Amino acid sequence: MSHKITRKMDLNSDDFYVEVEAPLVAERFRAGNFTILMTVPHGERIPMSIMKAEDGKISMFIKKLGKTSRELYKELDTFENVIGPMGKPIDIKNYGTVVVASDLVCGHAENYAICKALKEAGNKVISYQTFPTEKEIYPEEVLANDVCDEFHLTTEDGSKGEEGHYIDLLEERLENGEKVDIVFAGGSLPNLKELGEMTKEYNIPTIVTVRQIMVDASGMCGACRVFVDGEMQLACIDGPMFDAHKIDWGAALRRPKMYAEMEKVALEHCKELGRCE
Amino acid sequence: MAIKPRVPVREQPAEERIHNFNSVPYGYSEEEAIAEAQRCIQCPNPTCEAGCPVNIKIKDMIRLIKEGKFAESYLLTKQDNAFPACTGRVCPQEDQCEGVCILVKTGQPINIGKLEAFVADWGREHNVTEETVSASKEKKVAVVGSGPAGLACAAELRKFGYQVTMFETLHKPGGVLVYGIPNFRLPKEIVQHEIDYLEEIGVDIQLNMTVGQNISFDELRENYDAIFLGTGAGAPQFMGIEGEKLNGVYSANEFLIRANLMKSYLFPEWDTPISVGKKVGVVGAGNVAMDAARTALRLGADEVYIIYRRTMEFSPARNEEIEHAREEGIIFKELVNPVRFVGNDQGWVTGVELIKMELSEQDSSGRPRPVPVEGSEFIMELDTVIEALGTVPNRLFLSRAPGLKTDRKGVILADDNRMTSIEGVFGGGDATSGAATVIKALGEGKRAAESIRDYLEGK
């Protein structure tokens, strides 16, 4: 049941783009959904955001982090399993003015998908994509500039585009009294927490992707439990997007680090086999 | 005539097996199986068969073993139960066939489970097969879930000649047989062989297909003449106490899915990690708790505790599992209940606060109700906690199938014919009964198949 990779390209020195044949996922994908990947038969089940779904294929942005992503980058031209769509899509409707923001690999993929869906639903869509410096900026063809009404490319050091992180730039905007009806954001979890703290002051609903470790991703294991408004929710079936103002961020920030040491072991093993760099 | 004692089952010694995931029992040899079968007095009215949820013709199965006709015994068993290698290993025989064997009075009932596993293994090893599908019929049935209930229903429907498509969310079929029950209790190649048989008789198994996500429940209703829901009770229950957010706190489901389905015990050759500290506490004392405890031991824990609020005589686990766990050095901490989990400043669990319990009058389960002893709290240090508190039906599917009537816990309501509140939609196994046993699910799947046949033939 192998899935053919139809395109792979570098986005910057750390991140790469993958397009893969996955007709079942592509057919039913809606913004907010994710996919579960298994690169090889003995692989992990890994949740991954989807940038776009077209012609029976899905596109994703992947960071070269551990064993799975590095082996995928270097060695593989197929996936063993591409499963989904998983999770709940966002409520796609006309909110008015929507900000979609991201600062990390999966968040950038979600940014594109959400902008596209919400623009089609008649919203005024403002997209912010933040990169650390000019060097990390993705090629223009995969940015959300074509699928939104107002695009802000920002770098934290100001080497290209607007200077600053999207949180600060959005705050300036709100301070100026500009109207924003809702914010959708994805990427770095600590930054999403900070974003939530900021937008709460302005009383702007803020829906963010809470990326957690998953196993079955169908509600069976509880690995991705997130506490929202005091209630246990599962990111795989109740999420992955939740109200940033109600998340217990302490646990959400901690749980993804549970296997940090073992991930190093897996990467070393893969390097020994010559399948990773 | 004096009845000889049971032929003992050879097993991997405890000190060896705690370092591997291979099967604990070796299984009977032909000679041992014949000797055990010879103990059967062939009752004119075999109570064992009435005690079997799938009504295997146990008496004849044993007679044929006694006569050395293993292939015949295998085919006879397979007529009533497509999964004898599994049930021979995981049924609670002491509560079923063996519990009502006439010899139970002697304390030495026939070892029906091990004889069933023997014929199943013999049949598999000798490639015994028989064409069992009736003339092909056009009507199509969708089976949702490939666990025991779905497998049994699919096998039976296919034997009746219907076109059967089975939908499974995970990347491997078998449900709890694959993701839940460890290899040392139910080797996965045995499960795979019994599932291969379904494919051989023409069941179309669609993996990575979640009904409600990849295909809607309404589409199934439009495209199939009947539906069987074997969606199980796959969602874990948590205690809901302080500290469950800590790293190192697992549901037994997660722990076992990692170890079994994802083969974490082969990490890093297999990619999925699992975290097991030196001191592991498993909350609960059922079969799943035993599986989790024994898995943790095999993954390198020094001390593994079963934390149980009653005493072990009231544990719902199979006797064999408790015995095996005891032999392997699992420590039973009885009459205690967790109050909260405690952790360090990095957010990892470091222990559990327990409160002592005492047994009071009987509750609705027929067991004495455990009552906390006020002021008896104490801390037990632990590195890993596994909560094995039973499971409930998965709300993912239920949320996508409005109109399907359930009880408060999400257990799908089904009538005596196993039809749900929606016409043409049947159900069985844990999805309709709450968490129970593999064999009960097989029995319900099989009975549902008969009802589906009656429904499709307009009876």
- SS3 (DSSP) at B420: coil
Nearest to A50 by CA among A118, A120, A94, A107: A107
Residue B132 pLDDT class (50, 70, 90 cuts): confident
**Is A277 within a domain?**
no
Tell me the pLDDT of chain B averaged across its residues.
93
Per residue in A68-100, pLDDT (tens digit) is 898 899 889 999 999 999 999 999 999 999 999
**Is A167 within a domain?**
yes
Residue B305 pLDDT class (50, 70, 90 cuts): very high
Placement of tokens 């990326």 in the chain: A211
**Is A275 within a domain?**
no
Domains of chain B (ranges; CATH) run: 14-125 (1.10.1060.10), 140-234+392-456 (3.50.50.60), 238-389 (3.50.50.60)
Residue B69 in this model has a pLDDT that exceeds 60: yes
pLDDT at B189: 93
Asked if A107 and A193 sit in the same domain, the reply is: yes
Asked if A10 and A35 sit in the same domain, the reply is: yes
What does residue A182 show for φ and ψ, rounded to 5 degrees?
Answer: -160, 150
Q: Could you tell me where the beta strands, DSSP code E, fall in B308-409? A: 331-333, 336-343, 349-362, 368-372, 378-381, 384-387, 391-392
Alpha-carbon gap, residue B239 to B299, rounded angstroms: 25
Residue B130 pLDDT class (50, 70, 90 cuts): confident
Per residue in A102-129, pLDDT (tens digit) is 999 999 999 999 999 999 999 999 999 9
Residue B409 pLDDT class (50, 70, 90 cuts): confident
Asked if A142 and A204 sit in the same domain, the reply is: yes
Residue B1 pLDDT class (50, 70, 90 cuts): low
Residue B246 pLDDT class (50, 70, 90 cuts): very high
Which neighbouring-strand residues pair with A243?
A207
pLDDT at B399: 86
Cα separation of the two ends of chain B:
51
Cβ A42–B271 below 8 Å, yes or no?
A: yes
**Containing domain of residue A168, as a range?**
90-208
Asked if A153 and A73 sit in the same domain, the reply is: no
How many angstroms away from the CA of A108 is the closest CA of chain B?
24
Who among B238, B245, B258 is closest to A215 (CB)? B258
**Is A274 within a domain?**
no
Pair A188, A209: CB distance under 8 Å: no
The beta-carbon contacts of B322-325 under 8 Å, at least 24 apart in sequence, are B322/B290, B324/B14, B324/B24, B324/B290, B324/B294, B325/B290, B325/B293, B325/B294
The residue of chain A with its CA nearest to that of B384 is: A258
Q: What percent of chain A has pLDDT over 70?
A: 100
Asked if A99 and A67 sit in the same domain, the reply is: no
Residue B223 in this model has a pLDDT that exceeds 70: yes
How many angstroms away from the CA of A104 is the closest CA of chain B?
24
Asked if A81 and A128 sit in the same domain, the reply is: no
**Is A43 within a domain?**
yes
Asked if A102 and A82 sit in the same domain, the reply is: no
Q: What is the mean pLDDT of residues B421-430?
A: 93
Per residue in A216-259, pLDDT (tens digit) is 999 999 999 999 998 999 999 999 999 999 999 988 998 888 89
pLDDT at A113: 97
Asked if A200 and A109 sit in the same domain, the reply is: yes
CB pairs under 8 A between A and B: 117
Number of compact structural domains in chain A:
3
pLDDT at B419: 93
Mode of pairing for the β-strands spanning B425-427 and B226-229:
parallel
pLDDT at B459: 64
Asked if A94 and A204 sit in the same domain, the reply is: yes
pLDDT at B315: 92
The residue of chain B with its CA nearest to that of A265 is: B268
Q: What percent of chain B has pLDDT over 90?
A: 81
Residue A65, domain CATH: 2.40.30.10
Cβ A269–B268 below 8 Å, yes or no?
A: yes
Residue A189, domain CATH: 3.40.50.80
Of residues B208 and B361, more confidence is placed in B208
DSSP B215-255: B-HHHHHHH-SEEEE-----EE-----TTTTSBTEEEHHHH
Who among B247, B253, B269 is closest to A221 (CB)? B253
The residue of chain B with its CA nearest to that of A251 is: B245
Domain boundary, last residue among A162, A185, A208: A208
Nearest to B427 by CA among B154, B229, B152: B229
pLDDT at A255: 86
Any chain A CB within 8 A of the CB of B270?
yes
Find chain B residues with C-beta within 8 A of A47's C-beta: none
Find chain B residues with C-beta within 8 A of A80's C-beta: 171
Helix ranges, B67-111 (H)? 70-80, 84-90
Asked if A249 and A264 sit in the same domain, the reply is: yes
**Is A225 within a domain?**
yes
How many angstroms away from the CA of B125 is the closest CA of chain A?
26
Domain boundary, last residue among A52, A86, A120: A86
Asked if A155 and A80 sit in the same domain, the reply is: no
Amino acid at A232: M
Asked if A15 and A75 sit in the same domain, the reply is: yes
Pair B314, B367: CB distance under 8 Å: yes
**Tell me, what's the ipTM?**
0.93
Residue B131 in this model has a pLDDT that exceeds 80: no
**Is A276 within a domain?**
no
Torsion over CA: A168, A171, A172, A178 (sign): positive
Of residues B107 and A9, more confidence is placed in A9
pLDDT at B403: 87
What does residue B14 show for φ and ψ, rounded to 5 degrees?
Answer: -55, -40
Residue B177 in this model has a pLDDT that exceeds 90: yes
From residue A33, how far is each of A92, A142, A228, B51 by CA, in Å?
12, 18, 19, 47
Residue A185 in this model has a pLDDT that exceeds 90: yes
Residue A1 pLDDT class (50, 70, 90 cuts): low
Pair A204, A195: CB distance under 8 Å: no
**Is A107 within a domain?**
yes
Residue A156 pLDDT class (50, 70, 90 cuts): very high
Any chain B CB within 8 A of the CB of A24?
yes
Domain boundary, last residue among A208, A226, A257: A208
Who among A24, A220, A259 is closest to B257 (CB)? A220
